[in-house]
Amino acid sequence: MRSFSKISAIENMAEKTFRPMLTYADEFHHAVNDQYQRIVHYFKPQFLLGLTATPERMDGRNIYEICDYNVPYEISLKEGINKGMLVPFHYYGIYDETDYSSLHLVKGRYEENELNKTYIGNDLRYDLIYKYYRKYPSKRALGFCCSRQHAEDMAKEFCKRGIEAVAVYSNADGAFSEDRDRAIVKLKRQEIKVIFSVDMFNEGVDIAALDMVMFLRPTESPIVFLQQLGRGLRTCRGKEYLNVLDFIGNYEKAGRAPFLLSGEGSQGERTAGDIYSIDYPDDCIVDFDMRLIDLFKEMEKKSMSAGERIVQEFYRIKELLGDRVPTRMELFTYMEDEIYQYCMRHAKENPFRHYLDFLYELHELSDEEKDVYDSIGREFLLLIETTDMQKVYKMPILYSFYHHGNVRMAVTDEDVLESWKEFFNTGTNWKDLALDMTYADYRKITDRQHLSKAKSMPIKYLKASGKGFFVDREGYALAIREELSEVVKTEAFGKHMKDVLEYRTMEYYRRRYAEEAF
């Protein structure tokens, strides 16, 4: 469904058939892609069920928001293994002397050409990989490589050593390459022992009889790491466990693997010394070369402070956006989850709570944004960024002031009611009006009841805790201080107000989902 021709074909076919009541979408972490969205929006299902093994911010994007944070069932890697739905793994962290210190990271990834120069022709590394492949029994193995050349090279070296192997990658045309489907058949029949792959087995393909996976390159993304691990965790008759060979050098984020294997997701603020206290899934083995423990500790000493990592992440995302300063929503969307969770736990270092200040310190404000920063508008935006959000009720009131970009200085009862109903009619936001509310209950609420709730709760609290920015004005439900009258007219102020409201709304629902899941 990724090519335009296939999408068009599906649309043409659908035009002649039906619009389904129920639709399910596999690999739902791709749902943020525009082409994927075109299909979903075309069919307009009455109920959409998304299925994915890796929902946690694939490529930084938020798929929970697409489903209004409705999650009917969720199971972790640890639960899946403990319940026998997946086989246990025997993971071996193998010390690899390959030196990555002079290699460049571009957008969080090592450059393919530099990795090729490091790996191809490296006899010591060939011998290391072959030695450990033979050390642990395997009938069917899958090795993850960094490039076509790397996959070809590894297949050639294994064949040279008497192990039948092929390389699988897109548009395969090499001496050792093989079509993916034919390679899978050969592996199942044991006509070959190893497939060396590049981005062809991260998802969507399962070989249940696979008994070994080999990580032969740095895996920068925790999602990709878990996807690749998952290729071999399918249960199969006679298969008791999966051997995992991870060849680890001094590359960035090398110490993340033990925490991912625990099923905890991110490392958070743990250190290399915590490796020994991790609770892994039942019957799993995790064995690290002692030299790796020393390497992890040494890398920790050289690692950047949390504040420096946040700044580095900002510039990585800025580069990703074509050297455009990210909005709060874009920063959230593309920020690595581990860094985002740190921001949430440390208010003083959290740029989402004082984004204009953050941009000012980095000299990233435009001239018009500097004018907002030097005015009372900065204080007002800071108030919206930090106002308490135990409930979501304040958001529709603030949206009524924003008014789709035409910022108002005061709002009438009619303005409040329109914004309130527009907000709670969106998705399943109506659930937040009361505990145990059904949609039928929501539909029975009158306009007078809606307005009464808006006035008795968020409007009352905005006046009480709004640092004097929200005031009474005759003939209006609520107003903001007259001193803001000039700055609210500027494009920069409107852009930032919209960004704050969208981010705060999204973060509220993200947090609510996390609390419910816990």
Angle at which helix 112-119 crosses helix 148-160, to 10 degrees, equals: 20
Flag whether pLDDT at 6 surpasses 60.
Answer: no
- Indicate the Cα dihedral angle 154, 160, 164, 169, nearest 10°: 30
Mean pLDDT of the residues in the chain: 84
**Mean pLDDT over residues 476-493, rounded?**
95
Angle at which helix 148-160 crosses helix 123-135, to 10 degrees, equals: 60
Q: Which residues contact 32 (CB under 8 A, 6 or more apart)?
A: 58, 59, 61, 62, 63, 66
Beta partners for residue 92, in sequence order: 245, 287
Q: Which residues contact 206 (CB under 8 A, 6 or more apart)?
A: 231, 234
**Mean pLDDT over residues 399-420, rounded?**
96
**Mean pLDDT over residues 71-89, rounded?**
86
Nearest residue to 52 (alpha-carbon basis) of 175, 230, 286, 233: 230
Alpha-carbon Rg of the chain, whole angstroms?
27
The answer to whether the beta carbons of residues 512 and 389 sit under 8 Å apart is: no
**Cβ of 376: how many Cβ atoms within 10 Å?**
14
What is the Cα–Cα distance from 286 to 293, expressed in whole angstroms? 13
What is the Cα–Cα distance from 134 to 88, expressed in whole angstroms? 20
Q: List strands edge to edge, sheet with 141-144.
A: 165-168, 194-197, 141-144, 212-215, 242-248, 89-95, 285-288
**Mean pLDDT over residues 180-197, rounded?**
94
Nearest residue to 368 (alpha-carbon basis) of 486, 264, 503: 486
pTM flag (> 0.85):
no
Flag whether pLDDT at 23 surpasses 70.
Answer: no
Nearest residue to 214 (alpha-carbon basis) of 89, 114, 98: 89
Going from N- to C-terminal start, the domains of the chain cover 4-76, 86-302, 304-351, 354-517
* pLDDT, tens digit, 9 for 90 and up, residues 213-272: 999 998 767 777 888 888 899 999 999 999 999 999 888 777 777 778 886 555 555 555
Amino acid at residue number 76: S
**Cβ of 183: how many Cβ atoms within 10 Å?**
25
**Mean pLDDT over residues 192-202, rounded?**
85
pLDDT at residue 372, rounded to an integer = 96
Q: Would residue 153 be called left, alpha or beta, if left means φ above 0 and alpha means ψ between -120 and 50 degrees?
A: alpha
Flag whether pLDDT at 32 surpasses 60.
Answer: yes
* Burial degree of 84 (CB within 10 A; 0-12, 13-18, 19+): exposed
What is the Cα–Cα distance from 116 to 122, expressed in whole angstroms? 10
Angle at which helix 413-424 crosses helix 447-454, to 10 degrees, equals: 100
CATH class name, domain 86-302: alpha beta
Alpha helices of 211-302 — where are they, by DSSP H?
222-230, 257-261, 290-302
pLDDT at residue 58, rounded to an integer = 43
